[in-house]
Amino acid sequence: MSISRRTFSSALGGSALALGLTQGTAFAKPASAQAGTGARATAAAASDDPYTQAFLTQYGKIKAAANGYFSPDGLPYHSVETLMVEAPDHGHQTTSEAVSFWMWLEAAYGRVTGDWAPFNAAWAVAEKTIIPQHADQSTSDSYSPSAPATYAPEHPLPDGYPSALDGTVPVGADPISSELASSYGTMDIYGMHWLMDLDNVYGYGNKPGTGGESGPGAGASFINTYQRGAQESVWETVPQPTTDLFEYGGPNGYLDLFVGDSSYAKQWKYTNAPDADARAVQAAYWAYRWASEQGKESQVAASVAKAAKMGDYLRYAMFDKYFKRIGDCTDPNSCPAASGRDSQHYLLSWYYAWGGAAAGSGGGWAWRIGDGASHQGYQNPLAAWALSNVPSLTPKSATAKSDWSKSLTRQLEFLTWLQSSEGALAGGCTNSWEGSYGRPPAGTPTFYGMAYDWQPVYHDPASNNWFGFQAWGMERVAAYYYVTGNATAEAVLSKWVAWASSETTVGADGSFRFPSTLNWTGRPDTWNAASPGDNAGLHVSVVDYANDVGVGAAYVKTLTYYAAKSGDEDAAALAKALLDAMALNTTDKGISVPETRLDYNRFDDEVYIPSGWSGTMPNGDPVRPGATFISIRSWYKDDPDWPKVQAYLDGGDAPTFTYHRFWAQAALALAFAIYAELLVEGGGGEPGGDTEPPTSPAGLTVTATTKESLSLSWSAATDNVAVTGYDVYRNGVLAGNTTGLTFTDTGLAAGTEYTYAVAARDAGGNTSALSDAVLATTKTGGSAGTGAVKVQYKNNDSSATDNQVRLGLQVVNTGSAPVDLTTVKARYWFTADGGPSTFGTYCDYAALGSSNITHTVVAVPSPKAGADRYLEVGFTGGAGTLAAGASTGELQLRLNKSDWSNFDESDDYSRATNTTYADSPKVGAYVAGALAWGVEP
């Protein structure tokens, strides 16, 4: 039976079996203080409550290499298991969704342990992989905001494709491109592409940072799938590379399966899932909040700034697909092209996308589109609030803060509009009926002129039939309510929680179930902001129930945030009971329940291929009319689990799998951590739990000296919970702190002796005894570095006459002693070729961290042939020392003139044409101001 919220606590019985829990739910503080001070979070590792320990156990399973959650490139797989078809069509793909959950998981780990290095590492990996680098979107500079894209209608069924481009349909202007370019000095888009093939199973080899197709082999690869209307399920897709160079597929690659045109050009294209980027912002907010409560906000500042930048570009999800007017847009030709903000609906739509001509394909062009279809499950009021209210997360662009502020209000209105009489949220709205600006049925309700759609974006299965979208969306609303106490959020939440709780069962034996498939009848009232309707005619019913642990984790987080702010003890008790019940389903890799996959009878579904079209997949599988899902993925038959599926296709029982999806396992860990932080008495690190200090660091050694700096290293200390950092003392006075095992002390006097010692800290605030002291003396003069260096260079720019200079550098220590990188400079000589005397310089990627790299353009006092300027590249103290024989790793650099006029690089002194790293004597290296490598012009 179902248990109502009013009777749940008394009906709970003995369901708290999973963790042997005996603590009650805590409401020691009034509801108004629940979102308050950081005392609860400052010493999380000190807490010995079982929910914090459950978080650490789950985290350890996820991060254990033997459990197989991460690819060799450091990205989380969609699932540990490979035979997996749902939105990704293979378990060892990944999504931006999984990456955003990873960021959030590492933020929670930072709260519990005080160690923020894993959170920063997640962002660094994302920048190197799933966020396309310049090489992956190399012709973005060719984008014209006044002509963002050419219209192509969507069609209800896959057999309506390819869809013909129609240049006669008016499209609007992009109002945010120029301010983004001005804010960040680039026309590149900073957002995650939604899908990657981490094992390169398909074999396209669209490897990040290459902008090409290297074919079968190891390494992650960008891919695309869905392209053909709302009815195209995962079983009917034709995967394709993001950069299509016509090496696979047919004569035009895969392009002419989707778009009809008179001719086809090699090109790249990416699609962003806004809910994932918004979740990444959400994770960054929590990281900033928790780190600030620990006094460590500086340790996450660089990653938080990246999230703010991502939020700036995420605004593309707020615009109509072709920048047409919002509202009453019911004919593609008569619906006007918008200017300014008339095309902005301020919701998080299903996607935004961008593309352009492949490098070297001849001719430069690029496009960008938004989307007019918005789903309730994609909205994120917490992210909108953070981007418009938290200074460290406020994007640079002039209108970004106001955009996100208006989006916050619009999202809350949207959710209110879609709430059924029972409390569940209906689907969404669209500005382009059936994707072609059609006329919706008479009487269709509207939201700011956009038509109600109970199943926006996809129909197989219907997009709003899955309870998971309810739990995902409401978890964000609940987090926003917890942080701000917003009354609109509370009203929506209280009604939703009452409905969901009434449909949830937790048995004394640990069994549990909640809604799975929903059915919708009726429709909402047309939105009136001044007087919202009560939606008396909009209803939901539950078709069936399930015990999906990932959805359950989102549901628990919703209940936890809501209970912590409102004081609702029934909601808190239900959160606890569900957590306890789910934890009974532990495996060696996490927490999971078996699931029977009836839909796997669709492996032999036909994939629509137009008559007369033929091509091949990279492995040789033919693509032609009559092809099926499995026929163009024949490699699936080599999967060790394939016999279970084949037996089902041959008439046997449906196969059962116990999957370990990364997002679900991370969500479970987060549910434990959030419950511990907010609802366990003394949980989340109430002060006083841990009194045991770490051991003293050993092996303190001086590793490098200059006339103004000293570098140190030591061995790791140990602690009963976790060491979170080290304090370095110079002559008995604190000189600085670090989370690593090295430290460079700068700004010292030449020829002076100093005494150093190091102490370890844990999250409970305990400090070890000082290490044994070491004496060190700065140099008296001469070279401030030790060892010799060389510079390696590669050309990152296929065009010598565009408006940016792009290059890669790396510095190698060729000597036998460490080099203090703060003493090293590299100079790349070039000519300005007229134009202004000011330049923009950028480090797009650095293995040492872009924030640790300095870069500026300097005028040559006596210009030489091929050199009247040089780009000088240096390093901050955060870059540390460079060990003998070591390399700094790649530095991806670029520069432009302030008026963005073109260069002629063909005669530049330092330029070469090699596209892989090679020694470059025409790029100089200087140690403490003295030339140590290369030949000056």
- Residue 72 CB coordination number (10 Å): 10
Q: For residue 656, what is the enclosing H or E element?
A: strand 656-657
Helices (H), 530-568: 549-566
For residue 209 the two structure tokens come to 């940072």
Distance CA 190, CA 306 (A): 9
What own/partner pairs with CB < 8 Å and gap ≥ 24 does 635-639 have?
A: 635/201, 636/83, 636/90, 636/603, 639/82, 639/83
Question: Are the C-beta atoms of residues 549 and 662 closer than 8 Å to each other?
Answer: no
Kindly state the DSSP code that residue 140 receives in the 8-state scheme.
G
Residue 312 a catalytic site member:
no
Give the tokens for residue 40: 């609860």
H or E element, residue 103: helix 96-113
Give the Cβ contact number of residue 606 at 10 Å: 15
Angle at which helix 96-113 crosses helix 50-63, to 10 degrees, equals 130
Cβ count near 534 (within 10 Å): 10
The burial class, CB within 10 Å (0-12 / 13-18 / 19+), for 415 is: buried
C-alpha separations of 398 from 278, 402, 403, 406, 584 in Å: 20, 8, 10, 14, 51
CB-based contact 327:449 (threshold 8 Å): yes
Alpha carbon distance 824, 532 (integer Å): 64
Continuous segment of H or E residues that includes residue 303: helix 297-313
Q: What does the alpha-carbon distance between residue 808 and residue 905 come to, in Å, rounded to a whole number?
A: 15
Q: Which two tokens stand for residue 381?
A: 């009021």
Cα–Cα distance between 641 and 220 in angstroms, integer? 23
CA atoms within 13 A on the CB side of 476: 30
Could you tell me how many helices (H) and strands (E) the chain has, helices first?
A: 15, 40
CA angle (100 as vertex; 96, 105 as ends), nearest 5? 145
CA neighbor of 230 nearest in space, from 44, 434, 60: 434
Q: What does the alpha-carbon distance between residue 871 and residue 888 come to, in Å, rounded to a whole number?
A: 18
In angstroms, what CA-CA distances link 604 with 55, 224, 249, 599?
41, 21, 20, 11
DSSP run (H or E) holding 51: helix 50-63
Query: For the chain, percent helix, then strand, then coil, each to nearest 5?
Result: 30, 25, 45
Q: Which residues contact 64 (CB under 8 A, 6 or more apart)?
A: none
CB 282 within 8 A of CB 667: no
Using CA atoms, how far apart are residues 151 and 932, in angstroms rounded to an integer? Answer: 56
* Pairwise CA distance, residues 293 & 685, whole Å: 12
Catalytic residue among 509, 534, 544, 604, which?
A: 509
CB neighbour list of residue 267: distance below 8 Å, 6 or more residues apart = 243, 244, 255, 355, 356, 357, 358, 361
Strand order in the sheet with 710-715: 698-705, 710-715, 742-745
Cis status of the peptide bond prior to 440, with omega within 30 of 0:
no
Are 207 and 128 a contacting pair, CB within 8 Å? no
Q: Of the candidates 278, 383, 299, 285, which has an alpha carbon nearest to the alpha carbon of residue 113?
A: 299
Task: Give CA–CA dist 318/320, Å, rounded.
Answer: 7
Catalytic residues: 509
